[in-house]
Chains A and B, each alone.
Chain A
Amino acid sequence: AQKVTQAQTEISVVEKEDVTLDCVYETRDTTYYLFWYKQPPSGELVFLIRRNSFDEQNEISGRYSWNFQKSTSSFNFTITASQVVDSAVYFCALSERGSQGNLIFGKGTKLSVKP
């Protein structure tokens, strides 16, 4: 069965610290897609990244980086030099080829960045 696990419920860091949010997924499909979304206190969901199962190359976008490891079924997200504006709930999600594209979300990790 498909599943996304974000074991860290809440993380608190001080500004400028690096922080890694973990995501572990389960799927029987060989073709699938992984996503990260950010939900700031205002409540909307903001798309951050999409990765397909063929591409294990890590990605960096400014202070954000993602580490995709098929061998451990993980898709971890690192924020370098965190800022107060990074405070939000971050969701990891999975979409399988065999589905209609429906996203299966983890329960989210609440990140608090203190000044």
Chain B
Amino acid sequence: NAGVMQNPRHLVRRRGQEARLRCSPMKGHSHVYWYRQLPEEGLKFMVYLQKENIIDESGMPKERFSAEFPKEGPSILRIQQVVRGDSAAYFCASSPLRGSGLRTDTQYFGPGTRLTVL
């Protein structure tokens, strides 16, 4: 059973370009979370999606960042007009159940995408 897949593993962009990060959840999982790990900091929640729905985007920066999880295909985290401060590791996690109350389930993480902005 394949784990959470993320690609690319490493992405280099120049300031002002767009970065697109992809995440395919584990088979049978329909809930996707994105987290960001900045240097010298822990992991911070960004957004929680189900298929075709953004459930919680309270951790997303207000500008330049967007996420989607279409009916078909991987979840995409898009960063427009990247700046040096966007350089970080971006992790995707998936779980089979809604993350709420007694049905909270474990999130399994992908290998991450390391974004470097030159």
Contact = CB atoms under 8 A, between A and B. Distances in A.
A101 B42 contact: no
Contacts of B105: 101
Interface residue SS majority, chain A: loop
Contacts of A84: none
Contacts of A97: 100-102, 104
B66 interface: no
B59 interface: yes
Interface residues of B, number: 32
A31 B102 contact: yes
A40 to B, nearest CB: 11
19 contacts: A44-B112, A45-B43, A45-B109, A47-B106, A47-B108, A47-B109, A50-B106, A91-B43, A97-B100, A97-B104, A100-B55, A101-B33, A101-B100, A101-B105, A103-B45, A103-B93, A103-B107, A106-B42, A107-B41
Interface of B: 31, 33, 35, 41-45, 48, 55-56, 58-59, 89, 91, 93, 95, 98-102, 104-112, 114
